């Protein structure tokens, strides 16, 4: 018979996780596309005023900048869509999806992101999705807190038969505690372990999953 107390606690934990996810998505929209759209509106207004006053040369740079901001907003929206679940993850697997993410982040931010995920093809669906979200959030946090020059993402099989995900960057060491707590919660939800280490030059996040969690 199911313990009512355990069921209620599990339900409360799930509701908290959903609330945290909605809050995180709201922050992503606010800090990315919304800011770009607001800036775009101001630039177009200024360009319109310049044109009304017959100042076509003055409107030109404003319109050029508006085009650049529009491209940034488009890229941010594509990133948000990928947050929910990139098609590549289900069709081609963990390694391909992380390579795609790394290429997008690296190109936009001028960062060298190296991916080595030989154990990616072994993951079950739940672990594959959960670990991808952890990589995405770890990359996002590293970029936001101070752009790194290099990031490495590895996923290897452990001696006990599980898997270990390691994300290391050489950016600013500051990290939002709420994000670290969220990564730890995602790891716990996968029945995994979470560790966070800082040295003078690097920040490393490690997630370990036992075989039952990695392949089930």
Handedness of CA 129, 130, 131, 137 (dihedral sign): positive
pTM: 0.66
Provide CATH code, domain 88-216.
3.30.565.10
Lowest mean pLDDT among 15-19, 29-33, 34-38, 145-149: 15-19
Per-residue confidence at 118, pLDDT binned at 50, 70, 90? very high
Asked if residue 10 has pLDDT above 60, the reply is no
Tens-digit pLDDT profile for residues 57-110: 888 888 898 888 888 887 777 766 665 667 888 889 999 999 999 998 888 888
**What pLDDT score does 142 carry?**
83
pLDDT of residue 15: 61
- Taking alpha carbons only, the member of 82, 106, 96 closest to residue 155 is 96
The pair of structure tokens assigned to 24 is: 């995180």
Rg over alpha carbons for the chain, rounded to the nearest Å, is: 21
pLDDT of residue 13: 58
- Residue spans of the domains in the chain: they are 1-84, 88-216
Mean pLDDT of 35-42: 85
Res. 7 pLDDT band, cuts 50 70 90: low
Quickly state the pLDDT bin for 3 (edges 50, 70, 90).
low
Q: What is the mean pLDDT of the chain?
A: 84
The per-residue pLDDT for 132 is 93
* Lowest mean pLDDT segment, chosen from 5-14, 53-62, 185-194: 5-14
pLDDT band at 20 (very low <50, low <70, confident <90, very high): low
Over the stretch 135-182, which tens digit does the pLDDT of each residue have? 988 988 888 776 788 999 999 999 999 999 999 998 776 666 777 888
């Amino acid at each position: 018979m199911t313990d009512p107390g355990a069921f209620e606690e599990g339900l409360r934990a799930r509701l908290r996780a959903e609330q945290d996810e909605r809050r995180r998505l709201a922050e992503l929209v606010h800090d990315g596309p919304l800011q770009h759209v607001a800036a775009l509106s101001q630039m177009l207004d200024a360009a319109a005023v310049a044109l009304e006053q017959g100042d076509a040369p003055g409107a030109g740079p404003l319109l050029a900048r508006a085009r650049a901001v529009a491209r940034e907003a488009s890229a941010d929206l594509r990133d948000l869509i990928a947050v929910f679940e990139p098609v590549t993850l289900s069709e081609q697997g963990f390694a391909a999806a992380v390579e795609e993410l790394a290429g997008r982040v690296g190109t936009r931010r001028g960062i060298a992101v190296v991916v080595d995920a030989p154990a990616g093809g072994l993951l079950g669906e739940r672990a594959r999705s959960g670990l991808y979200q952890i990589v995405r959030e770890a990359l996002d946090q590293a970029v936001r807190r101070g752009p790194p020059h290099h990031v490495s993402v590895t996923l290897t099989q452990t001696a006990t038969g599980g898997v270990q995900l390691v994300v290391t960057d050489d950016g600013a060491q500051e990290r939002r505690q709420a994000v670290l707590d969220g990564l730890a919660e995602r790891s716990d939800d996968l029945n995994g372990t979470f560790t966070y280490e800082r040295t003078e030059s690097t920040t490393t996040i490690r997630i370990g999953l036992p075989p039952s969690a990695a392949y089930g």
